[in-house]
Amino acid sequence: MEDIAARVQSKLLEGLALQQNGRLDEAEAAYQEVLAVQPRHFDALHLSGVIAAQRQDSAGAATLISQAIAVNPQHAGAHYNLGYALEDLRQFAAAVASYDRAIALQSDHAVAYNNRGVALSALREHAAAVASFDRALALDPAYADALYNRGVALGELGQHRAAAQSFAAALQLAPDYPFLLGMWLYARLRVCDWDGLDGNLACLADNLAAGLAVTPPWPMLSLSGSGMLQRAAAETWARGKYAAAPTPPRRGPRGKIRLGYFSADFRIHPVALLAAGLFEVHDRGAFEVIAFSFGPDTGDDMRKRLEKAFDRFIDVANKTDAEITALARAEGIDIAIDLGGYTTDSRAGIFAGRAAPIQVNYLGYPGTMGADFIDYIVADEVVVPPSHRLFYAEKIAAVPIFQVNDRAGHGGEITLTRAACGLPETGFVYCCFNNSFKITPAVFDTWMGILKAVDGSVLFLFADTEEAKDNLRQSAVRAGVEATRLVFGGRVAANEYVARLRLSDLFLDTLPFNGGTTASDALWAGLPVLTQIGESFAGRMAASLLTAVGLEPLVTATPDAYAALAMELGRNPDRIAGLREKLAAQRLTSRLFDVSHFRRHIEEAYRQMIARSDAGLPPDHISVGIR
């Protein structure tokens, strides 16, 4: 018996040494020898589970580590490792329970507290997540991961100033922490904190140009208007996060083309509000339309509408990326359309695994995904003129207007008074209901110059935090404008939102990140939009929308031209009335609000993608309906 015990111990130590040197196959073989002699050997089971986790086999890891825990339920590390595997399997509640057991056995387990916070955030229990991160930091104040994750959770709670402080503390500890600089700057933009912004942006640009991982792609849409820098950020993110799988084989003889629309936002959300009509009017004689929903089931009216709009609506919220990819392949999806890109709750890993032979970036993310697993981006020749194609990793599928725009069933109209919204009864009302992170110091300075030049004018802004309001008021005063000339509105119901737009005289757009849905909301409400065109997709959206409704004169090329036209319109009520009349006359007949017009062209683009694929040709630029 002593010889057997000694051989088991020797083999276990051999396996551990092999595992520590990355020789996983040999280590696993050593553990298997142990288990052949002692099938319930805790260490051999546990370490075999860790090897499975190292190989990204989270299901296998969970099984083996659970077997180990059955042998020795008092081992904190095993409970922690089980939590980690369960988290990777998206079994977040079970993961939290495993971390709780690890902490009960080892109260100073800072890493368990951190990972517990991550799992709670995935369950949208962000306040509890922050408390867990705080506990990790109490145990280890120099824990940069916990500071970063805490900042993310605080942002989800709308506590952007606190989020920025958490990111700043992480930067102090780990200046090279991946993607942290952009998150810090973005959190500050959310509250319009612009102190030292120019220097920080220059540092960000230099680091991106050097190929460093300094920002996720989404913040870059607000932080820089450079198409090349936005592409650099997206490519760095994609390389660091995803390993692209081979393209699956094309489906055999096909009848209908199977479209898979993938989103976390099949609910009351701008993407759904824009696209619901498209899903309903797709040509069912030629296309089968399937939804893959990995967001929350809110049960709201839009969710119910969308569940009926598709031929099949598949809820995959509890599945892993790999499981969703496998399901899409099993369903024979020909074209997978990612409606989220790199926005909140997006799941780019599904597409890295190649859910379909053809994969498309559309609507939710106005920029390149910088990934070799996305074949096309849907655009038009205003948002992506041919000379700008180098800013995109995808091939361009150009249609007459990039934005589908359904306006059916979004609630009845109501009327509001200026007084009810805190606006003066007389005087010109400029407005901008874009999110506060889109307001840059340069844009705000231009706005203040406009207010100073147009007597009695006010600026009606959306802001959802008191910090943003305070910072904007202070910036106005520093620019020589009374703080009372800024009027703020928060989030309201859709019909009240449209009614507020109708109280305004001119919508002032932002750059480098234009209004997309907000700009089309304004046009639908009959409110003219003034924009300055930029270089990136996000900086050219409003120009596309204005072109589609025949208001090209409201697209300016420089800050001076933008300011001059805003001042002229503010002083000339007849001209603004003429623009409103023109918009009213053309709104309902324009291609912007014609879902059937969009449907015909996007379907032809899909057909051309399929034709190239069936001919064995790689993706290439496509142009449909462009004169």
- Name the residue range of residue 299's domain: 257-365
Q: Residues 23-28: contacts with CB within 8 Å, 24+ apart?
A: 24/51, 24/54, 24/55, 27/51
Alpha-carbon gap, residue 239 to 373, rounded angstroms: 11
Whichever domain contains 577, its CATH number is 3.40.50.2000
pLDDT reported for residue 457: 98
| H/E segment holding residue 115 | helix 110-122
| Tens digit of each residue's pLDDT (9 = 90 or more) over 592-603 | 999 999 999 999
Edge to edge, the sheet with strand 506-508 lists 486-489, 458-462, 429-432, 506-508, 529-532, 555-556
| 355 and 456 housed in the same domain | no
Q: Report the number of distinct structural domains present in the chain.
A: 2
| Tens digit of each residue's pLDDT (9 = 90 or more) over 227-275 | 999 999 999 999 999 998 888 887 766 789 999 999 999 999 999 999 9
| 543 and 439 housed in the same domain | yes
What are the strands, taking DSSP E only, across 311-401?
A: 312-315, 335-338, 358-361, 376-379, 395-398
Answer whether residue 136 is part of any domain: no
Residue 358 phi/psi, 5-degree rounding, is: -125, 130
| Tens digit of each residue's pLDDT (9 = 90 or more) over 25-37 | 999 999 999 999 9
Answer whether residue 333 is part of any domain: yes
| 439 and 587 housed in the same domain | yes
Answer whether residue 68 is part of any domain: no
Domain boundary (325, 341, 365) is at 365
| 436 and 342 housed in the same domain | no
Alpha-carbon gap, residue 228 to 233, rounded angstroms: 9
pLDDT reported for residue 5: 82
Answer whether residue 338 is part of any domain: yes
Answer whether residue 221 is part of any domain: no
Residue 332: which region, alpha, beta or left (left: phi > 0; alpha: psi -120 to 50)? left
| 496 and 357 housed in the same domain | no
Predicted structure pTM score: 0.96
Answer whether residue 90 is part of any domain: no
Residue 90: which region, alpha, beta or left (left: phi > 0; alpha: psi -120 to 50)? left
| 585 and 436 housed in the same domain | yes
| Tens digit of each residue's pLDDT (9 = 90 or more) over 522-579 | 999 999 999 999 999 999 999 999 999 999 999 999 999 999 999 999 999 999 999 9
The mean pLDDT value for 156-178 works out to: 98
Domain boundary (344, 365, 386) is at 365
Confidence of residue 410 (pLDDT cuts 50, 70, 90): low
pLDDT reported for residue 409: 55
pLDDT reported for residue 50: 97
Alpha-carbon distance values, 379 to 17, 543, 624, 626 (Å): 54, 13, 11, 11
Answer whether residue 306 is part of any domain: yes
**Identity at 96, one-letter amino acid code:** V
pLDDT reported for residue 2: 59
| 340 and 450 housed in the same domain | no
How big is the chain, counted in residues? 627
Reduced to 3 states, what is the DSSP secondary structure of residue 395?
A: strand
438 has a pLDDT exceeding 60: yes
Closest CA to 389 of 401, 376, 399: 376
What is the token pair recorded at 27? 């280590």
Helices marked H in 479-539 — which ranges?
Answer: 494-503, 517-524
Whichever domain contains 302, its CATH number is 3.40.50.11380
| 454 and 585 housed in the same domain | yes
What is the token pair recorded at 603? 């379907």
Query: Quick check: 281 and 599 in contact, CB under 8 A?
Result: yes
Answer whether residue 620 is part of any domain: no
Residue 480: which region, alpha, beta or left (left: phi > 0; alpha: psi -120 to 50)? left
626 has a pLDDT exceeding 90: no
